[in-house]
Structure 1
Amino acid sequence: MSLERLLHYVSLDGAGGVEQQFVDFVRAASDLSPARQAVVACGQGIHPLVAARLDRDVPVVFEKYARGLKLPKWPRALRRQRQRHIVERNRPDVVLIWNRLRDSLDTLAAAGAERCIYWERGASWFAGESRAKREFLASVPAIICNSHAARRMLELRWEYAGQVRVIHNALRPSLLPAAPPEPRQRPAGNSLTFGVVARLESIKGVAVALHALARLRSHGYKATLRIAGDGPERAGLRRLAQRLNITDQVVFEGLVADMAAFYSRIDLLVHPALREPFGQIAVEAGAYGVPAVVSAVDGLVEVIEHERTGLCIEPTLDAADYRALGGGDADLPPYVYDPARDTIAAPRALDPETLCRAIMQICNDDTRYARMSEAGLRAARERFVFDNHVRDALASIESFIDSGRLSPSC
């Protein structure tokens, strides 16, 4: 039996990584498969940036709205009936639930768990040991994960015992360079511009990058930090830059529309995140020949090949040390995955001095820098091809229809 009808359940209120990956997945799947796709938007609406890019041939309905009216939470029978109506109308072979670990029990009930696949993209890290999450994971028969780290988080934290297929994220077509870049050469002399691409929130560790910049300058580097992104910590990070006396060497670029131009302005990507289920930014940097220094946490070690496309640095500072550096703790998850020890533990931050030394290791060595740049370009071309990513997912879904298994290797 082949895949004829695929029904996606996904929240599209935001325009972050999951939403953008979803839009490009639907577009590519339409080109690669004759299956009819439909979308159930599970939030309050659809972000304008997402709506502008959605495939117009793919119908969208809303989970919590009927005839333009929002259905109340109580009595629950109203929303459950809406779920049944959506499933009966679309008659899907498979329901693909995108990163909705907490709020999908009614979807399982309406569709039947036997035709549901959950796609884990970071929700298993979130706080809240709710009964609904455990009930969902006890019922859903198959999960696709965007990293081995996501798989182990489900198994170690949530004790998931069902079948799992790891399918790494890939470089979205909209982010591909217009022309194949050439490998980079190390910046001349002691000049250096490194970049951070992140939402400005405590989980991304941007405060550590500011401290590393201050240390680089104390070592005599003419170093500059460019930050692409915005968020709740922006004002606090500006104050930290003032306190470290590096205001003139930090450029807050805000939300950047032209990321190709941004990558052309930096020599090195630094991603000192305390949690990162995959690490899409590191893939993007590699596609432009920019080596990366990242935290050795969660899925980042699956993207950056240590000593080949960049460096993966073990985080060693606890939450109290991170706060002392100016980092917050409002959005820190209770656990992250430690790939070196195959365990889950409280999140830790990079030591700024260790990060500073790692940056110097790459940027003091012409051969190493050029080799890493070339390897990053090759990885983007060979390991993170979006059509291959979509083909792998569609093949797993087809296998699930035929045999109840995502693939023979599950």
Structure 2
Amino acid sequence: MNEHTERKLLSNGNPEAVLHCVDLDKVGGVERYLLDYLDGTTVTEPTVKQNIFMLGRKKSPPDQLKPVLESLRKRGVSAYQKKYFRGFKIPSVPSVLRDAHRRRIFEGHASGVVLFWNLLNQYEQLKTCRDEGGVSVYWERGAGWYSDFSLPDTFASLNEADYVMANSVAGAKILRARGYDRPIEVCQNGVRAAIYRRPGSVKSLPMNRTLRVGIAARLVPIKGVALSIHALALSKGRSTKYDLHIAGDGRDKQRLEELAQALGVADRVHFHGVVSDMSSFYADIDCLLHPVLSEACSNTLAEAQYCGCPVVATEVDGVPEVVAEHGGVLVPGELDSVEFARLGVYGEGLPPFVYDPADGQVCPPKAPDPGKLVDAIEAVFSDEVTYAKMSEEAIAWTSRNLKPHVKYREVMDYLHKFSVARGRAIKDLGW
């Protein structure tokens, strides 16, 4: 953007524009949260022009995301693609064609903010954004754990961004441990509005049926689902009787089914696959088990607690930041890679290190002991009064601290602040 254009924008009071850069090739927490955020803010902040720039490789996003994208399109949200224009693939040679396509998109948002959702190694996109005059913001949501910081593009991407946010204190700590020393704003997730519209009720300890412990996760090693099956096997002969209900799918499903068979608990492990109505799933279970080995900030824990579920979770990374003090039990990670590999939790897809909130240091990934997971589950179900109080506190804490419209506005406030700091034209949003 040249000087003349910038002065014109500063004087004409254009409404703020936000371009959301994201990889929509898969369906995960980042992708769902982005679309939920847009679903809410396009209604509450209609004067803010918001569009999506899909930086994945696929021609079309997953079918699960298409209905929401179509709804957003009807509200004026355009979805651009890195390699496609109006359904036609842009040739990679000559490279000037894709470069021109990218510049045209960023030029159209030069009066506002370009927000990169958990995408490192995007130096070319960030540089183009700067060249065209946009304000670039990187939002750390887990990529910092995995990205190869020995690659020049990784640090160059962070340093090219005008501002950096993280969705947890743990995320900021990881970037610091990686050597990033510029300011980082922490902007935490809220409960997704789709869940928040159906508030949970305080649960009572079931007395006339088998207890239901739930897991909501992709079936991949980092989610620690194998540990939950070992915990279930260890619960034999203990005072608390429960079955395991798993919402989610993934490449480890067969391996987990075989593990349940080998441990003699296959009849007590119920695989529900991808669940579209998570509010109903949380309503049907009595406790959520979340034995992850690493997680920047858990949407699942926030949503389960809002629906009244006491939780048992690993004390790692940003997990404790979204667990109510009296609404759940945290279990430390203790087993090293050799020990948890013996339990069927393999090293595929694990980050090189995690943040230990207990001592404020980074360390190699560690898994919670399945026996201690059973102890924690028994503590949740120890008596009716304790259980009901945990359920009540889980709802109250998430309702106070993780309201979606408050958290969405917090994001917009930061983007507004960054725009003002860069001297961008901002329409008064009335906050």
In the superposition, the TM-score normalised over structure 2's length comes to 0.88
Q: Distance in 1 between matches of 2:94 and 2:367?
A: 45
Q: Distance in 2 between matches of 1:173 and 1:330?
A: 33
Contact 1:177 1:288 in 2 (8 A): no
Verify: 1:18 aligned to 2:34, yes or no: no
The amino acid across from 1:18 in the alignment is V
Pairwise CA distance, 1:28: 1.9
Aligned to 1:212: 231
Aligned positions of 1:346-385 closer than 5 A: 346-385=364-403
Q: Distance in 1 between matches of 2:201 and 2:361?
A: 39
Contact 1:32 1:391 in 2 (8 A): no
Verify: 1:312 aligned to 2:330, yes or no: yes
- Gaps of at least 5 residues in structure 1 are 406-410
Contact 1:274 1:349 in 2 (8 A): yes
Aligned positions of 1:112-151 closer than 5 A: 112=130, 115-129=135-149, 130-151=151-172
Pairwise CA distance, 1:75: 5.0
Pairwise CA distance, 1:122: 1.0
Contact 2:309 2:391 in 1 (8 A): yes
Aligned to 1:36: 49
Aligned to 1:162: 182
Pairwise CA distance, 1:73: 4.5
Aligned to 1:52: 67
Q: Distance in 1 between matches of 2:197 and 2:36?
A: 16
In the superposition, the TM-score normalised over structure 1's length comes to 0.93
- Gaps of at least 5 residues in structure 2 are 1-9, 424-431
Aligned to 2:355: 337
User: What per-residue deviation string (whole Å, max 9, x for no partner) do you get for residues 84-128 of structure 1?
Assistant: 1212234341111111111x2112221217710111111111153
Identity, in percent, stands at: 33
User: What per-residue deviation string (whole Å, max 9, x for no partner) do you get for residues 249-290 of structure 1?
Assistant: 111111112222222221111000001110111111111111
Aligned positions of 1:269-348 closer than 5 A: 269-306=288-325, 308-348=326-366
Pairwise CA distance, 1:71: 3.4
Q: Distance in 2 between matches of 1:92 and 1:51?
A: 28
Aligned to 1:408: none
Aligned length: 401
In terms of mean alpha carbon deviation, does 76-85 or 143-152 score higher? 76-85
Q: Distance in 1 between matches of 2:91 and 2:180?
A: 32
Aligned to 2:3: none
Q: Distance in 1 between matches of 2:187 and 2:409?
A: 10
Contact 2:240 2:381 in 1 (8 A): no
In terms of mean alpha carbon deviation, does 272-281 or 252-261 score higher? 252-261
Pairwise CA distance, 1:76: 4.2
| CA RMSD after TM alignment | 2.0
In terms of mean alpha carbon deviation, does 217-226 or 240-249 score higher? 217-226
Q: Distance in 2 between matches of 1:181 and 1:109?
A: 45
Aligned positions of 1:170-189 closer than 5 A: 170-176=190-196, 178=198, 180-188=199-207
Q: Distance in 1 between matches of 2:386 and 2:329?
A: 11
Contact 2:138 2:158 in 1 (8 A): no
Aligned-partner SS, 2:50: strand
